[in-house]
A and B are shown apart, each in its own frame.
Chain A
């Protein structure tokens, strides 16, 4: 089974893979929550996904998982036919906490207000981006340098 990229809850997630099972073999695709002990029931399932002919190579299969009923979390996706089984992890997030696709940005903080009664998030986010905070000693030196600059400027003004 191919790797499954992280996805936002509510979107369609395509899962696919290749197999040496015969063309036309039907696979059952099941999605289980990963971190519940002894979880027996799948959170989502598709039955009868056919293995397609790929002219001489291993057969390919493809299915789409509807994540609208899946809460954010880590899931185990299995493709199974009889005793033959392949698995991959799938991670679902809520769009409220979208971090964006880019990497290399500096540290980001987002804040949300929580309703005191319902305990749910009630406001939008305000984004604040900041790099690693400077050392306090650097702040002190910067402050002293600033004071010095002001002194020089004032001195120059007085000379004029």
Chain B
């Protein structure tokens, strides 16, 4: 058996050396959603929660039912939000409210109340919903007429904000202000409406097209095509100043803003980005207005797409596989930010702990360098109700992290700091959230990541399975890449 492990280890090491690591230059990002099912290209992010639409919960390529999932950053955990039979596109989230379109109407789901509301006007086509707290806006179309519609989730009030004979699109809302694109006679307008006063202001009316607006407080960003390929521009509502964020002459797409941070998809390092936009292979860039710095947070080798930002957290879809895994990046300047996620679901719970695992026998010893990720997998017996991990290293300048993916796709990620004790160790325990219940049966996947490493450092990993205080040997533990490949 040892020989098998050794051979598997050698094969995996060869694979790791041959395949460039996705996170090599963006080691502060980590995987939060990985499965064999396809994910729709809509990611929403708000207040410590990340939501996305995913096709059926199994590997059956013909299962096209759509489920909305949520990853709570503070809990480090993935849950199902809703698995109703609606067609889901254009997802947006605010707190515990989720909105999406099925092309004919808008769905509003309050996960706290367990209440789904379908909003529509018969015969109309509804699209592009956005939400901030209880305010929902979207675009309706019927027989050549466009309208920007608003619904208040608290009062049930519905009103038409703007009507137009020319196309309206892509509303984005922050507080009582909404920005959207309106087609003018010769070019697109970027328009702001104050929902309290209903005052309408044209923010920009220049040549060419503009698209993908986002707003947070007094700042609005959008992709502007007045000078050629779309460039991300920033408009300050107080000063009225419009300026490019990081002009490059190559396409810049899908900007989003939160506070003083702006993210977007940037094609300056892609051969396909200068004259004609060709999706994929762009980098994800972050501009910090306060520090006046721009940095790449995800390189384009595996086509990161559709970045969204909330607080200091950035998420994007990684196109390195057809399934589009989802990655989370913590901007270092805001790591101390306290994001209170709301709890939901009862399948598994996880918490970092300062207490060492009941048994500390080393299960595996290896070395790791900066940006590397090493995968392990194990299949606990169905009798276990808890599983504890302990990742340890000696070098005080090194930072490693531990990611765990359950058979059902729940994902947790912990660093040394998460257990409040800086002792060059990451300890975590996963338990069944059901009283007297057992852990999910199947293969659990563990990843050790070299977040900050000088050269190469050794580490060891141990784990213990428990049932009512009794420890148990795992079965089927092996070292190597998971079935769906490494990141």
Interface residues of A (CB under 8 A from B): 6, 9, 33, 35-39, 41, 43, 69-74, 91-94, 96-97, 99-116, 118-121, 125, 130, 132-133
Contacts and interface: CB of A to CB of B under 8 A. Distances in A.
B142 interface: yes
A115 B118 CA distance: 17
Nearest to A35: B40
Q: Which range contains the number of B residues in contact with the other chain? A: 35 or more
A125 to B, nearest CB: 8
Nearest to B347: A117
Nearest to B107: A97
B138 to A, nearest CB: 12
Interface in B122-167: 122-124, 142, 149, 156-160
Given A38-B322, A41-B61, 8 more contacts: A71-B65, A72-B85, A73-B66, A93-B104, A102-B122, A104-B123, A109-B119, A130-B156
A72 B102 contact: yes
Nearest to A95: B85
Contacts of A96: 84-86
Given A73-B87, A103-B123, A121 B116 contact: yes
A120 B84 contact: yes
Given A36-B55, A111-B115, A133-B157, A93 B122 contact: no
B118 A97 contact: yes
Contact of A111 (B38, B81, B87, B117): B117
Contacts of B62: 41, 43, 69
Interface in B312-357: 319, 322, 324
The 5 closest A-B pairs by CB, nearest first: A103-B123, A94-B85, A72-B87, A71-B64, A112-B116
A105 to B, nearest CB: 5
B114 interface: yes
Contact of B64 (A6, A70, A106, A108): A70
Contacts of B40: 35
Contacts of B84: 96, 112, 114, 119-121
Contacts of B117: 109-112
A6 to B, nearest CB: 8
By DSSP majority rule, is chain A's interface helix, strand, loop, or mixed?
loop
Given A72-B87, A108-B119, A133 B158 contact: yes
Contact of A104 (B114, B122, B324): B122
A74 B87 contact: yes
B115 A119 contact: no
Contacts of B121: 105-108
B87 A103 contact: no
Interface string B203-227: 0000000000000000000000000
Nearest to B108: A109
A101 B123 CA distance: 7
17 contacts: A9-B85, A35-B40, A39-B38, A71-B65, A93-B102, A94-B86, A97-B105, A105-B122, A105-B123, A109-B156, A109-B158, A111-B117, A111-B118, A113-B116, A115-B114, A119-B82, A120-B83
A36 B323 CA distance: 9
Contacts of B55: 36
B103 A114 contact: no
Contacts of B56: 71
B148 to A, nearest CB: 12
Contacts of B393: none
Contacts of A130: 156, 158
A103 B142 contact: yes
B244 to A, nearest CB: 30
A103 B102 contact: no
A108 B324 CA distance: 35
B409 to A, nearest CB: 14
A112 B119 CA distance: 12
Contact of B122 (A74, A108, A111): A108
Contacts of B83: 118-120
A56 B121 CA distance: 45
B223 to A, nearest CB: 21
B66 A71 contact: yes
A108 to B, nearest CB: 6
A119 B64 contact: no
A112 B83 CA distance: 13
Given A99-B120, A102-B122, A132 B80 contact: no
B87 to A, nearest CB: 4
B185 to A, nearest CB: 28
A74 B87 CA distance: 8
Contacts of B119: 107-109
Max chain A C-beta neighbours (<10 A), residue from B87, B142, B319: B87
A103 B122 contact: yes
A50 to B, nearest CB: 27
A39 B63 CA distance: 13
A3 to B, nearest CB: 15
B427 interface: no
B89 interface: yes
Nearest to B38: A36
